[in-house]
Amino acid sequence: MRLTKFGAKSRRPAGRAARALVLASVVWWPACSLHRRGNREVWARVDGRAIYRDEVESYCRARLKNGGDWRSREQELTFKLSILNELINHRILLDRAAAARITVTEAEVDDRWKQVHTPYSNEEFAKRLQQQGLTEENLRQQLREDLVIEKLLRREVTARVTVTPGEIAAYYNRNQASFNVPETQYHVAQILVTPAVDRPVQNLKRSDAASPSQALRKIRMIHQQLRRGADFATLAEEYSEDPHTVSGGGDMGFIPASALAPDPAIGRAVAGLKVGEYSGIIRDRHGDFHILKLLGRVDAGQRRLEDPQVQATIRRNLQSEKEQLLKAAYIESLRNRATVKDYLADEIVAVHADAERIG
């Protein structure tokens, strides 16, 4: 017989009120968890080692803007369960990498650091770290672990995937309609310079023209460097003011001819280029300056299996599909050999089981 705090018999709440009381416990449960180490709450263990609530919360903040706009507590916990599952897999993969003696150098970590830091000023970057509850040391450790896991998966997943000519042909036969191009498409890269101040500017040089005259001088300087043999993608990363393409060397992907029609100057310039050529300085109808490079072109009509680009596209698709399947199976195989305890999942199941019994 269960007694209340004052020794009286507890009464069974009825119906909806009972369910509300029990389900409400999900809200406060983590703070009352019996699985603790010091002041930190343990939400899971992998081979006896803890994964803490604050680790999960930190990853959640990194994934979400404004802390997450949850419609319900259940939606929030579902998301946190998925993050916790990722961290469990992350720990298992790190253990496997350690057993396989896979390491990374500080130079490799430095390169990855630059990639994540480059789009932001020092002040913006520090603010993002603070919002996510991270220090620079924490982030470097995360980057180091990510690199180790990438090396492991390249060796034990990617290197084991093969795509045969027969598989490419079968894929083409199943998906011929997707290789019918309705209109000419251009694979274009650009260097953009605008005559107004852009915030935040994301190119490597932190270069931002603030007036029409500055913009004209800047685009002329860039064009001159191209004529001297400078690499287009490098100049785009250093000087372009297009935040959407700067980190990819100005690559805009494939653009259908109809999308270029609204600005005749740009449309004519692209149509007149041969693959590998770059344009002169183009001023669009808004007053912005462009230099364009044609990386590729796909003419309208049915693309044949013999087309090297078609084969390359199919190979990439099949490679990706096979890698995703093998990666999922590989992680599950490692997980089967690990001892995993997910306390958060157990507690949520227990709370809802209590609710069902009371209801």
CATH number of the domain to which 349 belongs: 1.10.4030.10
- Cα separation, 126 vs 112, whole angstroms: 17
Q: What is the CATH number of the domain that holds 272?
A: 3.10.50.40
Model confidence at 6: pLDDT above 60: no
- Cα separation, 15 vs 21, whole angstroms: 10
> Are 147 and 237 in the same domain?
no
> Are 87 and 203 in the same domain?
no
- Cα separation, 94 vs 88, whole angstroms: 10
Domains contained in the chain, number: 2
> Are 150 and 198 in the same domain?
no
> Are 122 and 188 in the same domain?
no
Q: Has residue 71 been placed in a domain?
A: yes
Q: Has residue 305 been placed in a domain?
A: no
Model confidence at 288: pLDDT above 60: yes
Rg (CA), the chain: 28
pLDDT band at 123 (very low <50, low <70, confident <90, very high): confident
Whole-prediction pTM value? 0.71
> Are 150 and 200 in the same domain?
no
> Are 189 and 148 in the same domain?
no
Q: Has residue 314 been placed in a domain?
A: no
Beta carbons of 121 and 200 less than 8 angstroms apart: yes
- Cα separation, 77 vs 351, whole angstroms: 13
> Are 127 and 32 in the same domain?
yes
Q: Has residue 25 been placed in a domain?
A: yes
What domain range is 45 assigned to?
Answer: 15-155+339-358
Model confidence at 168: pLDDT above 80: yes
Q: Has residue 230 been placed in a domain?
A: yes
Is residue 129 helix, strand or coil?
helix
- Worst-scoring range by mean pLDDT, 91-100, 130-139, 176-185, 218-227? 130-139
pLDDT band at 70 (very low <50, low <70, confident <90, very high): confident
Model confidence at 30: pLDDT above 50: no
Q: Has residue 354 been placed in a domain?
A: yes
Model confidence at 12: pLDDT above 80: no
